[in-house]
Structure 1
Amino acid sequence: MRWRSSDLTKYGDSKQYIDTIIIPLIPFQMSHNEELEKLAFQSELLNIFTSEIEKELAGRIMLMPAYSYLKSADIETEINRINGWITDIKEQPFANVFLFTLDATWKKKEQTLDGHMLWLPSVQLGDLQSKEMRAMIRDQVNQLIELIRSYW
């Protein structure tokens, strides 16, 4: 399921089966021209990962809107904000909250987060539609799915 009205209508009837949330953590920074392309690429890549996982595990997980933040923001402030999201999410209740990121800064703060951090090392810029890139994405998605299932 995704954060859209058609899926949320179905959620009410099947909420006892949907116990896992995925939140992509997406940095951006318009004021640093040298990083624009890299950050946009990472955002696209993370969206592909989380969308593929949502498709594979449909009926068991919900993909939340991306949590976007300024790359230069105070990390402690962002931790408080994301933990606020997680507190609200767990009211439903959801047993598992997974935070997906390509930003290693979050991995360093994993113990202060109320969810499971899944940090993916970033790949270099490339063609997301190339055969090689799609194979790499598929391989990593399969590994991530197995990891998520281990929490169930």
Structure 2
Amino acid sequence: MRFDSQGALRSIAERQYVDTLIVPLAELAFGEDMVRKAESYEVIHAVTAETERQLSGRTMLSPTISYTDVEAGVKLAQDVVAKANSSGFSHVLFIASDVRFKAFDLPVLFVPPLALGSMSSDQAHTMVQNFATQVITELSSRWMAT
């Protein structure tokens, strides 16, 4: 489910099944880094959308959390985890390209920042499918552990 009015209604009605929040986590940059960060966002967005499509009865896709420095992003992510857990989500998984998040105790799965726009549509689709499969595998492991 997506974070829209229909998805929210379904999530509330089906709370016992919708126990996982997927959160895209993307860095905003301006100037020379803007293109690279935008490419990272495109991969993150495509992977999270595909994951939600495949797991829509079990997951809620959050709006993207955008940050301009990693410490601010960590604080936002920690707040999301706390509020999601207190609201009934058993699992929260962030999808990011910024490996600096490895230094923090957060449930983050990393996808590499690729220029999907410079690939053929078949190549881009295959890459997104491969990364979505990795996310689904990670979530399945977390679900089995609980």
The answer to whether structure 1 residue 11 and structure 2 residue 7 are counterparts is no
The answer to whether structure 1 residue 29 and structure 2 residue 29 are counterparts is yes
* TM-score normalized by the length of structure 2: 0.89
Q: Which amino acid in 1 is paired with 2:110?
A: W
Q: Which amino acid in 2 is paired with 1:139?
A: N
The counterpart of 2:127, out of the listed 136, 140, 145, is 136
Q: Are the aligned partners of 1:107 and 1:119 in contact in 2 as well (CA < 8 Å)? A: no
Instruction: State the Cα RMSD in Å.
Output: 1.6
% of aligned pairs identical? 28
Match of 2:71 in 1: 76
What does the per-residue CA deviation read over 1:62-102, in whole Å, with 9 as the maximum and x for residues that have no partner? 001111001xx2x3343223211211111121111001101
Q: Which amino acid in 2 is paired with 1:101?
A: A
Count the aligned residue pairs.
Answer: 143
In the alignment, structure 1 segments of 5+ residues that lack a partner are none
Q: Please give the residue correspondences for 1:114-129 in structure 2 after superposition, counting only pairs within 5 Å.
A: 116-124=107-115, 126-127=117-118
The counterpart of 1:148, out of the listed 136, 139, 144, is 139
Bigger fraction of residues in helix: 2
1:22 alignment partner, SS class: strand
What does the per-residue CA deviation read over 1:115-138, in whole Å, with 9 as the maximum and x for residues that have no partner? x11012222464365211211221
Distance 1:40 1:92 in 2: 31
Match of 1:89 in 2: 84
Distance 1:34 1:63 in 2: 30
* TM-score normalized by the length of structure 1: 0.86
Q: Which amino acid in 2 is paired with 1:127?
A: S
